[in-house]
Structure 1
Amino acid sequence: MSDSSRNTAEGAGWGVTEHGTYRELMPQRVEKLSWLNPKTLWPARNGTLASWFGDPTGSTRSRWVAQRTAAGAPVDKVIRRDDPDRFSFMVIGDTGEGDAPQYAVVPGFLKASQDSKFTVLASDVIYPVGSSDDYGTKFYRPYQDYQAPIYAIPGNHDWYEDLGGFMRAFCDAPPLAPEPSPRPLTPAWLRSLLWHRAHPTDEQRLSEARQLRSALAQRAVQPGPYWAIDAGRLRIIGIDTGLLGTIDAEQGRWLRVVSAGDMPKILITGSPLYVDAEHHPCPIEGGGTVDEIVRDPDHHYVAAIGGDIHNYQRYPVPVDGRTIQYVVAGGGGAFMHATHTIPRVSVGHVTEDDFRCYPLRGDSLAFYSRLYGRRLRMRRFFTLTEAEATAVIARRLGIAPTRAQGQPARVTPRTRLVAALLGAARRPDRTARFRLPVRKAYTQLFSPGSATYSPPFFKCFLRLDVTPDSVRLRCFAATGNLRQELDPPVEDEVTIPLPRQGTGG
């Protein structure tokens, strides 16, 4: 197995000039999304409108679920498979920009996913607004050679057109009938005046795209935007957190029902419960949180995997004498969210020594220093080598360098200033007086508009190998370089014990 970023700089993809074969998979013409472009921003306005005038996704979701139930989908929304006690499945999050970083994941994914039984896409299948017209280049084409079913949960971007494209692709559902117009001068009426609605689907275009994944072995029809899969002796539960990262009361009641019992469970969610050294328990309309359900010892959850944030993080949280692995797995293709902004970890009894992330904080800082240097035309000032970035991160957080250096780089006034300007985290008792917008405004606006199209990309995906006694979770890297494409490096690995059914443990 090739070196990972935790071993060498070359394992991270630095200093490598031989790009992978992923470009051969891409269409001839690729649209590069820019989130600084009003043509991209304006159609993606529904999340902002929902936060201002009330979130309608709960009622829309309920209508979708009712439509699927009327069409014969199982009422309990459980997909019952005949997988053996030993099987494997894949998880990829936040995939669908349809550009070089997404396609760079594909060759390594196909290699690492051999003999897997299915894949789950965790959040944001299609950018920017979940349009059905984008499924050809952003879903069917990249995964056409994966010869197993693909299930998915939607992210906020899939909801920007009221989930129409997602429901068509994964649930084979026709469009919903229009809702009655809201009463004038109400918040719902104001929202409706500006709400972005789906354009009519190009049926021929969608039909042609579907042919790329039309084999019987690839077929999967979901009972709705949220579901459960019984595979072997494991239940995998996918929830739909909509536009604002919450779930409605109807879905909350269903989640409590399917979480009952002593079958071991893994949650897949569009909004991670632990991320960036913070706890986000995910509220349920009417009371309670998703994490309360996950932590309940009677429910036997062993992991909760979330998308939405475009990197990898893992928090092994001790809960009532056991450990639940909380994972962020959103590095499947969209622009990279920084990890160098994550402070020294101390959350949920998880310390920095327990925490894992990819890319490493030093690699993230080096990546963004090059990006800013290029964008601001100040390469000589901003650009940090990976060794310089690793050294300054270690100094700022008071931790040992994650990757051993032959000759540690000096931390100079310039490297300290660049790190501060780019939002590198510091020890809790020290705060930067001024920083460029990396963690908040940058990742919401500038970062998506500045996605790099040259390796290393720092993308990733998960493989989970299930046995009667455990789940082996591995995070594989995809840098866009041929070396990591031929032999995807493992950036993190953990074996999760499964409780025996009927033992109450």
Structure 2
Amino acid sequence: MSDSSRDTAAGAGWGTAERGDYRRLMPHKVEKLSWLSPKTLWAARNGVLASWFGDPTGRTRGRWVAQRAAAGAPADKVIRRDGPDRFSFLVVGDTGEGDDSQYAVVPGLLKVGRGTDFAVIASDVIYPVGSADDYHTKFFRPYQDYRAPIYAIPGNHDWYEDLGAFMRVFCDDAPPLAPEPAPRPLTRAWLRSLLWHRPRPTDGQHLQKASKLRSSAEQQAVQPGPYWAIDAGPVRIVGIDTGLLGTLDAEQGAWLREVSEGPRPKILITGSPLYVDGEHHPCPIEGGGTVDDIVRAPEHRYVAAIGGDIHNYQRYPVQVDGRTVQYVVSGGGGAFMHATHTIPRVGIAGVTERDFRCYPLRGDSLAFYSALYGRRLRLRRFFALTEAEATAVVSERLGIPPTRAPGGPVRVTRRMRLLASLLGAGGRPDRTSRFRLPVRKLYTRLFSPGSATYSPPFFKQFLRLDVTPEAIRLRCHAATGNRAQEVDPPVEDEVIIPLV
């Protein structure tokens, strides 16, 4: 097995490694998505409009579910996969930017995914707005050689065009919803409808042709709707749709409570992770309660909750009533990288730094962002931090031993401490906090999507889960964009989840 980032800097993708072969999979011309473009920001306005004028996602989702029920989808929304009690599947989150960082994941995913029974995309299948015209290069082309079904739950970006393209691709070519009656003038709903982004009338004309790239019988999958459950082997996998604002409508909440009943072990797949960046986000349900209330209830027997949306990997093994629930973030499937060096020293729900895992490692994340700011601000010499220096200064700020042993002694200088503070390492405020560059919350909302790079290392990842009646083995595999990690995708984290 090849070195991981926890073993060596080369395992993380640093150095003069040979670039991988992923580029031969890419189309000749690739659109470089810029989230700083006014055109892109205007097209992706629906999330802001929903937060200002009310979120219509729950009502629209209810109409999609009713349409699928009328078309014969199972009322309980459970996909029953008959087969052996031992099986494997992949989870890959936040995939569809269609550039180097997405395609760099594909060779390793195909290799590790050989023999798996299906895959799940956990949030944001397509960027920037879930357009049907983008499915060719951002879904069908990259995964054309994965020889098993792919299921998906939508993320907020898939909802920016009211989920129409997602439903066509994953839900048996669902026809468009009938127009709703116009809202009363001068109401919040009326103001929202005036500004609401909708798909172009010509969107998706070539979708049928694109779908032929994944047209073999073993690749076919039909979902009962945007949320669903899969019964496979000894477990039930429950996928929920958290819409534009990371919440559940009352109808889906009632379904989730019902489908969570029974002694069968369960895994939740959600677009909004419940533990992330050292914080708890239980995910509210309209009418009362939270998703995490359901996960934590011992009678429901959830053993893991895996969320996308945040573009890195994190794992929190939380003790709940004498059992361990693995809360996982897995959103490193192709989009720009969210920083991990801004995660403060972990101490939440009984989980400490000793228990917590993340990828990329915080030091690698800081080195990545220091190089990025050096390029963007044309101050490369000032921002220059080697991976060893970044690892050392993060270790000092958090008061933890370095995850990866440095190649030699590293002296932490005042410049390194200043850079770490400016870039928010450890999330710890200090005297320079008012001068901190946008990396965490503001950067996530605006600047971080502009941090896409087109040369390794990319610090992407995906999961493989192997299920037996006794246990689930969950492994996080890295994709750096370098050939060494394509040939033998390193394991960045591994945990055995007992079922009995």
What displacement does 1:450 show?
Answer: 2.6
1:15 alignment partner, SS class: coil
Distance 1:408 1:345 in 2: 26
Residue 124 of structure 1 corresponds to which residue in structure 2? 124
Instruction: Count residues with an aligned counterpart.
Output: 499
Is 1:226–1:240's contact at 8 Å kept on the other side of the alignment? yes
Residue 39 of structure 2 corresponds to which residue in structure 1? 39
Per-residue CA distance 1:203-259 (angstroms, 9 max, x = gap): 541111000000000000100000000000100000000000000000000000000
What displacement does 1:430 show?
Answer: 8.5
Distance 1:376 1:433 in 2: 19
1:294 alignment partner, SS class: helix
Distance 1:407 1:233 in 2: 48
Residue 304 of structure 1 corresponds to which residue in structure 2? 305
Distance 1:461 1:6 in 2: 17
Residue 55 of structure 2 corresponds to which residue in structure 1? 55
Distance 2:170 2:336 in 1: 24
Structure 1 residues 276-295: aligned runs within 5 Å: 276-295=277-296
Distance 1:288 1:142, change over 3 A: same
Distance 1:408 1:102 in 2: 36
What displacement does 1:16 show?
Answer: 3.0
Is 1:154–1:270's contact at 8 Å kept on the other side of the alignment? yes
2:200 alignment partner, SS class: coil
What displacement does 1:431 show?
Answer: 8.0
Residue 259 of structure 1 corresponds to which residue in structure 2? 260
Q: Which contiguous aligned blocks of 4+ residues in structure 1 show a shift greater than 4 angstroms?
A: 201-204, 426-431
Per-residue CA distance 1:2-47 (angstroms, 9 max, x = gap): 0000000000000033100000000001000101101100010000
Residue 21 of structure 2 corresponds to which residue in structure 1? 21
Distance 2:17 2:119 in 1: 31
Distance 1:428 1:302 in 2: 35
What displacement does 1:409 show?
Answer: 1.4
Per-residue CA distance 1:353-404 (angstroms, 9 max, x = gap): 1000000000000000000000000000002000000000000000000001
One-letter amino acid of the structure 2 residue matched with residue 175 of structure 1: P
Unaligned runs of 5+ residues in structure 1 are 500-505
Residue 214 of structure 1 corresponds to which residue in structure 2? 215
Is 1:161–1:197's contact at 8 Å kept on the other side of the alignment? yes
Residue 503 of structure 1 corresponds to which residue in structure 2? none
Structure 1 residues 447-466: aligned runs within 5 Å: 447-466=448-467
One-letter amino acid of the structure 1 residue matched with residue 161 of structure 2: E
Residue 371 of structure 1 corresponds to which residue in structure 2? 372
Identity %: 80
Residue 6 of structure 1 corresponds to which residue in structure 2? 6
Is 1:477–1:488's contact at 8 Å kept on the other side of the alignment? yes
Distance 1:139 1:415 in 2: 41
Distance 1:203 1:97 in 2: 17
Per-residue CA distance 1:266-298 (angstroms, 9 max, x = gap): 000000000000000000000000000000000
Is 1:35–1:445's contact at 8 Å kept on the other side of the alignment? yes
Distance 1:65 1:256, change over 3 A: same
Distance 1:270 1:313, change over 3 A: same
Residue 359 of structure 1 corresponds to which residue in structure 2? 360
Per-residue CA distance 1:147-202 (angstroms, 9 max, x = gap): 00000000000000000110010002111111110011111001001000111255
Residue 133 of structure 2 corresponds to which residue in structure 1? 133
What displacement does 1:331 show?
Answer: 0.1
Structure 1 residues 197-212: aligned runs within 5 Å: 197-212=198-213
One-letter amino acid of the structure 1 residue matched with residue 394 of structure 2: I
1:178 matched to 2:179:
yes
1:181 alignment partner, SS class: coil
Residue 95 of structure 2 corresponds to which residue in structure 1? 95
Distance 1:483 1:216 in 2: 33
Distance 1:191 1:426, change over 3 A: closer
Is 2:23–2:100's contact at 8 Å kept on the other side of the alignment? yes
Is 2:133–2:205's contact at 8 Å kept on the other side of the alignment? no
1:111 matched to 2:118:
no
Structure 1 residues 65-76: aligned runs within 5 Å: 65-76=65-76
CA RMSD of aligned residues (A): 1.1
1:496 alignment partner, SS class: strand
One-letter amino acid of the structure 1 residue matched with residue 488 of structure 2: D
TM-score (norm 1): 0.98
Is 2:131–2:203's contact at 8 Å kept on the other side of the alignment? no
Distance 1:93 1:214 in 2: 22
Distance 1:442 1:208, change over 3 A: same
Per-residue CA distance 1:67-97 (angstroms, 9 max, x = gap): 0000000010000001311110000000000
Residue 236 of structure 2 corresponds to which residue in structure 1? 235
One-letter amino acid of the structure 1 residue matched with residue 420 of structure 2: A
Distance 1:344 1:312 in 2: 16
Distance 1:425 1:321 in 2: 30
1:266 alignment partner, SS class: strand
1:298 alignment partner, SS class: helix
One-letter amino acid of the structure 2 residue matched with residue 339 of structure 1: T
Distance 1:163 1:61 in 2: 8
Unaligned runs of 5+ residues in structure 2 are none
Distance 1:25 1:350 in 2: 41
